[in-house]
Amino acid sequence: MALILNIETSTQVCSVCISKDGVVEAIKESNEEKSHARMLTVFTDQLLKECNYKFDDFDAIAVSKGPGSYTGLRIGVSTAKGLCYAKDLPLIAIGTLQSMAYGIIPEINQKEINTTNTENVVIVPMIDARRMEVYSAFFNLKGEFVREVRAEIIDENSYSDILKKQKMIFFGDGSSKIAEIIKHKSAIFVENRNPSSKDMVSISEQYYQDKNFEDVAYFEPFYLKDFVATIPKKNIFK
């Protein structure tokens, strides 16, 4: 049983929640673009005051490790590591796509997938990686990995062999841009379902019980791709 601060900043969403014994006590979220640096510590402070906790009360800090936005991940991980250093707390790191899968599984109803064979369903959380590329992984309805995390470019032929045999449930900000490309009766798209710190809670509690902790000094986010700096178009000719 643990009191854990869960931090999710891998995408545009800035999300923080407090969980106790695997249950969400309170949560703060913003979908405002580039709000992580400004809102993360504000949300954390608000949650502590609302729930009447101090940092000394926590048993661990959990952070979404990616893949996702380079800047967002840096902010979330740096904040989590700073808290762990300051209060001598263990650091728990959770794969973003894994927590997304865990979060949506209870919401998938039998009518939506229209099959009694749950082994015939693949859950595909997707994070936008710019242009037609996404970060994705495959999970079954137990939340177990079916295919590892990849960065892949999507076209009209993507997943065609799988869709002939299985239903695929796509969600996340990466799935919205491929909904017009992948047209198949077995492709199901769930809208407005993005990463959230509340989806980390069951995993962070289990990791705490298993003492599945990271080395605070050496832990780095799971970027999957190298960061590439770009020059804004308006500055190209300056």
For residue range 220-233, list pLDDT tens digits in order.
999 987 544 444 44
Domain containing 112: what range?
98-190
Report how many domains make up the chain: 2
Q: Please tell me the distance from the alpha carbon of residue 118 to that of residue 124, in angstroms, as a whole number.
A: 14
Instruction: Judge whether residue 235 has pLDDT over 60.
Output: no
The reported pLDDT for the residue numbered 96 is 98
Whether residue 106 sits in one domain with residue 47:
no
How many helical (H) and strand (E) elements, i.e. helices and strands, does the chain have?
6, 10
Angle at 215 between CA 71 and CA 150, to 5 degrees: 50
The answer to whether residues 135 and 104 belong to one domain is: yes
To the nearest whole percent, how much of the chain has pLDDT over 70? Answer: 90
The model's pTM: 0.90
Residues 28 and 82 in one domain: yes
Q: Are residues 138 and 169 part of one domain?
A: yes
Query: How is 208-234 classified by DSSP, letter by letter?
Result: HHTT--B-TTT-----SS-------GG
CB atoms within 10 A of CB 231: 8
User: Average pLDDT of 3-24?
Assistant: 97
**In a shared domain, residues 9 and 57:** yes
Q: Tell me the three state secondary structure of residue 36.
A: helix
| Same domain for 163 and 211 | no
CATH of the domain at 81: 3.30.420.40
| Whether residue 141 sits in one domain with residue 105 | yes
Q: What is the mean pLDDT of the chain?
A: 91
| Residues 92 and 103 grouped into a single domain | no
DSSP string, 161-201: HHHTTSEEEEESTTTTTTTTT---TTEEEE-S----GGGGH
When computed from its CA atoms, the radius of gyration of the chain, rounded to whole angstroms, is 18
Q: Take residue 131 and report the two structure tokens written for it.
A: 């242009």
Residues 102, 92 within the same domain: no
Are 90 and 102 in a shared domain? no
Say which CATH number the domain at 150 has. 3.30.420
- pLDDT tens for 152-205 read 999 999 999 999 999 999 999 999 888 889 989 999 999 999 999 999 999 999
Mean pLDDT of 99-119: 77
Mean pLDDT value across residues 34-45: 93
Q: Return the amino acid letter for 116.
A: T
